[in-house]
Amino acid sequence: PAVVGLAFLVLPFVGLLVRAPWRAMPQLLSGDVVWPALRLSLITATAATAVSLLLGVPLAWLLARTEFPGRRLARTLVTLPLVMPPVVGGVALLLVLGRNGVLGRWLDSAFGITLPFTTAGVVVAEAFVAMPFLVLSVEGALGGADTRYEEAALTLGASRFQVFRRVTLPLIAPGVGAGAVLAWARALGEFGATITFAGNFPGTTQTLPLAVYLQLQDSPDAAVALSLVLLAVSLAVLLALRGRWTTGAQA
């Protein structure tokens, strides 16, 4: 059963490599669709990771170090995007941040900000599905960090913010780095929430996964070439992590 399970997971990628149009790869990757989509994917994934770091690290600290009513429910809600279909997340974002949404209507009338079907909307959709990866990784690192260093810093007169910045963050740096890489990779490969909330407009919201979907209908060889690019990025991420996602708390 173990061999069958391994083959089930590996053979699709082997098939992708075997059937790839290697001779036509330079021509396929030099088209007008590939590089704009790749550039947009890199920019939005990096921006989504920055948003995840800005909001996810404090959230992970809150869940790991603070006792408050409903903490278990909060942790469940944070991990909900991991198991929820991304397209459902896109619909939820549209109902909240859309032009007629709960918050989107206020953003549009008060500040003239419209998120759906914009590049900023892509960043929002990617951050929504990617942030839980960072939160879980950082929370695990915080759970494995020795709190005696933080307590010693507090007894010496340091404020909580100084302790967090000078003691806690260096202790959990491997977990933060692993979570950031995972969030970036997840944002780079996001499809469902992006196409639902931001649409598929070339040069504006068409990321690389959306370009793969579009090319699959018109040019299957081009779709395979783009898929190989995403596969290469995913492999690079896994090699960069080197098991730190699961061992970041002990690093």
Each residue's pLDDT tens digit in the chain (251 positions)? 999 999 999 998 888 888 888 888 888 777 777 788 888 999 999 999 999 999 999 999 889 888 888 888 999 999 999 888 999 999 999 999 988 888 988 988 888 888 999 999 999 999 999 999 999 999 888 888 777 888 888 888 888 888 888 888 888 888 898 889 889 989 998 999 999 999 989 889 999 999 888 888 888 888 888 888 888 887 887 777 665 554 444 43
Give the CA diameter of the chain. Answer: 66
Q: Considering Cα of 213, then 180, then 98, then 121, what sign does the dihedral take?
A: negative
How many Cβ atoms from other residues are within 10 Å of residue 29's Cβ? 16
By CB neighbour count within 10 A (0-12 exposed, 13-18 middle, 19+ buried), where does 95 fall?
A: middle
CA dist 230 and 189 (Å) reads 7
Q: Which domains does the chain have, with CATH numbers?
A: 32-241 (1.10.3720.10)
Kindly report the pTM of this predicted structure.
0.85
**Is residue 86 within 8 Å of residue 191, measured between CB atoms?**
yes
